[in-house]
Structures are given as structure tokens and as C-alpha cells.
Structure 1
């Protein structure tokens, strides 16, 4: 275990030296991914409350066609550095972080039906104008979906 910890510390120092310091969340996620990969991390057990939720959901969705059930999620991509606590090697006089300071954000919304139809992504820009070049090369429906709802694309 000591060798693993030393490897993580060495990785933190290298990232900081190269201008890409990690914050505590980055470190926790990296450690979790490592533990999962070597089989030392376990998932939470399924309890009665969780099973009850799925039983109720099954009843609620009874008779509803899969193409009528949709789920969507959004991701916000931001280049606002904000004020974060970052991890650097002790004694570093001038720590720096390689970032872009434009403070803009883009939200991407993805939607898929229970039968596997994927709608083209919806992109929300924080901008006064929508430039044509931002829409070039975006999905136009196929191969994601051939239905009428997808013909306009991203």
C-alpha cells in the first residue's frame, strides 16, 4: 500500500509541475478508479427501499411503449477557473494552473428513449449570437435516429 500512495503523490507532483494541478475531487476520483480497476473497491448493497422504488416504477410504466419513455441528462462544460483549492508540492513559490480565462460555458443535453432511439444532442451556448460555424459538423439525425423528430439535427 505504501508504494501505491507514493505513486499517487508522485503523480500529483508531476501534474502540478506541468501546470495541471489536481484538486481533492480529482484525487478522490483517481483513487476510486484505481481501486475499482484492481478490485479493491466495492459497491453499495441493494436495500429494500431501492427494490420498492423499482417495483413501483415497473407498475407505473406498465403498458407504456419503450419508444414513449425518454431519459435525458445534461453536462455543463465550463472554462471558468473559479477559485479552487489545488494540490501542489510543498515549497512551490509560484504555483500555476494552465487554463483558459474566457469564463464561458456550454451545456450539452443528450436524450435517449427506452427502445434505443438517440435524439441528436442539444447544445446551449452562453452567447449573444449563435455563429453558423458552431453548428457545422453536428449530427443531423442519422445514424442516431431516422425519425421525424431528429431530422433537424443538433
Structure 2
């Protein structure tokens, strides 16, 4: 009988512990971040070189990769290509957000067949590091020099 009473008390206590466990905080509004790398042609037409749309995690971190890789030769490390974004977007003063970001756009450069046969692999990377303040719902355009610009938007 004592075992039954003890078992029932344990169940009752465990039940209260489960009931009092706080639920996940869904009250925080999800945030989404968009980054674009654009280039203006001489004709005035804007060409989009890369675009990423991602969710900002609760700690303010953003991470994105879209691309592939070229296998290494003779045990070498593979060469990655594509679009990669890493960084943070965290609340700051006056309703603004502080963005610290690294954008890398890597393209494969195809070689003539005779060079490929000699085991040559080539990628070209453009990298942009950004530190800026953003306002929710507003697009911010930053010149990267020449005809290129980066567009940032937080929703």
C-alpha cells in the first residue's frame, strides 16, 4: 500500500511539474532579412548578382549558403562556390537594428579544356563586410564602389 501511495504522489508531483513548465515563447515576432548584390549596367539596367532571404534566429544570427563545390584533386580540399552570408542583426537604440554581416559570392571560372586536363580548378570570390544600422521595413542601399551596390532589408 505504501508503494502505491508513493507512486501516486510521484505521478501527482510530476504532473504539476509538467503543467508549470513554461511554454515556448511564440510572442516574439519572427524577423526576416534580405540582402541583394546588384550591379548597374552602362545602359542603366540593374542586374541582380545575388539575393538571399533568410530568417533571423532568436539570438540575432543569420546564416545562409546556396551553391555547390568542386571536388579536390589528390586529397585536396574541395572548392566551394555560390552565395554565403554570415553575421548578426540585433536590436540597437531608437528602434533600429545593428547589422554585422559578411557576404561572399563565389563563381566557378571555367577553363579551356587543355587547362582542365592539367588539373586546374579556379573560383573567383567577391566579398563584402558590412556594419550598419537598419530600420525595420526600410530598404538600405550601400554602394560597393564602381557600379555595384548592396541592398539590405529587415522585415
With the shorter chain as reference, the TM-score category is under 0.3
Q: Which has the higher strand share?
A: 2
Q: Which has the larger radius of gyration?
A: 2
TM-score calculated relative to the size of structure 1: 0.25
Q: Which structure dedicates a bigger proportion of its chain to helix?
A: 1
